Chains A and B, each alone.
Chain A
Amino acid sequence: MANTVLHKAETRGHASHGWLNSYHSFSFASYYNPERMHFGALRVLNDDTVAPGMGFGKHPHDNMEIISIPLEGDLEHKDSMDNVAVIKNGDIQAMSAGTGIFHSEYNKNREQTVKFLQIWVYPNKKNVEPRYDQITLNLEDRHNKLQQILSPNPGDEGVWIHQNAWFHLGKFDKGLSTEYTVKGKGNGVYVFVLTGDVTVNNQLLNTRDGYGIWDTDKFTITAETDAEFLLMEVPMEF
């Protein structure tokens, strides 16, 4: 029998700093909820909107796998490894903070807001050499099928991180279903609905709802409307 946890969108933590509007699925910054600390190795799921011309100044990280997925607009990334890159909608960026890294993220556009997901996963190895990776995804590869965007394997589809995690994106037309088979023993999957309504087995989820499912080998996800969603498979013990 699968275990599940439902996080309705409106129950997320919220912070509005003027230039940044952020919804936290798990405890983050001044939002602290002991019941919402993590889902397995998934520690942070922030749903951020950054005002035009604004952003996160230079700040440090260590020992965390940090994944950024822009949903609208472009975000400029600069880091202490001399990487400068613009992450666009359709891209995914992964950063292993390891022994320590500084970076900044700015919305350079003076007109348009940036919406992006920032996801932090606990690594399975501490103090690795900091690294950074970014790819552009083919949006067609997720239409009515699951597109793998992250894995633990450098040679596999998508970016890779230091954890036995697999992420998939799907953009499904109303009425279509797919079955997801859990890849790693002991892993769970956190489903995050980007747009529309879906059901996971019999649980209805609406836009920005999160739903964790574990102690199961597979589950079915059905688009009740045209819908986009992100599946994050992570170890439950780490």
Chain B
Amino acid sequence: MKTQILAIGRHPEILQTVVRLVNTNPEWECKGVSTDDEAVLAFSIQSYNMVLLGGGIEEESEERLCAAFRAINPDIIIVQHYGGGSGLLTAEIYEALAR
């Protein structure tokens, strides 16, 4: 069973890169969305193990999204992703899963 990851990011190209990089790991399956509405909808219709919050998401949106996700799944792992789409992704996901 693959770890299901929802990546949220405002910058389309960065989001696309993040999704592509995460999906290179055969144990992970990542879907990317840009808006808060898309994120809440995606989360409500599919079960996710982890959410990656990308760059450019306003603080109020982050708080709102985290509250919405935790209302549906109190155990959801939320990673405030730093360094967008590059060398830190793998380590950040492993770290979060190990917590």
Contacts and interface: CB of A to CB of B under 8 A. Distances in A.
Interface of A: 27-30, 32, 34, 37, 43-44, 46, 59-64, 97-100, 102, 120, 122, 126-127
Interface residues of B, number: 25
B14 A29 contact: no
A60 B83 CA distance: 8
A127 B56 contact: yes
B56 A60 contact: no
B19 to A, nearest CB: 12
Contacts of A60: 11, 13-14, 17, 84-86
The 4 A-B pairs at the shortest CB distance, nearest first, are namely: A62-B55, A62-B84, A27-B91, A100-B11
B90 interface: yes
B21 to A, nearest CB: 10
Contact of B90 (A29, A98, A99): A29
A112 B55 CA distance: 36
Interface string B46-75: 000000001111110000000000000000
B26 interface: no
Contact of B95 (A29, A34, A61): A34
B25 to A, nearest CB: 10
A72 B13 CA distance: 32
Q: Kindly name the residue among B10, B84, B85 whose own CB sees the greatest number of chain A CB atoms within 10 A.
A: B84
Contact of A28 (B57, B82, B87): B87
A166 to B, nearest CB: 21
Contact of B83 (A32, A63, A126): A63
A29 B82 contact: no
A43 B92 CA distance: 11
Nearest to B93: A32
A43 B17 CA distance: 21
B98 interface: yes
Contact of A34 (B9, B14, B87, B98): B98
Nearest to A123: B82
Given A34-B98, A62-B56, A97 B90 contact: no
Given A61-B83, A62-B55, A100-B14, 11 more contacts: A32-B91, A32-B94, A34-B98, A59-B17, A61-B86, A62-B9, A62-B82, A62-B83, A97-B83, A99-B10, A127-B57
Contacts of B85: 59-62
A37 B91 contact: yes
B88 interface: yes
Contacts of B58: 127
A105 to B, nearest CB: 12
Contacts of A59: 17, 85-86
A210 to B, nearest CB: 17
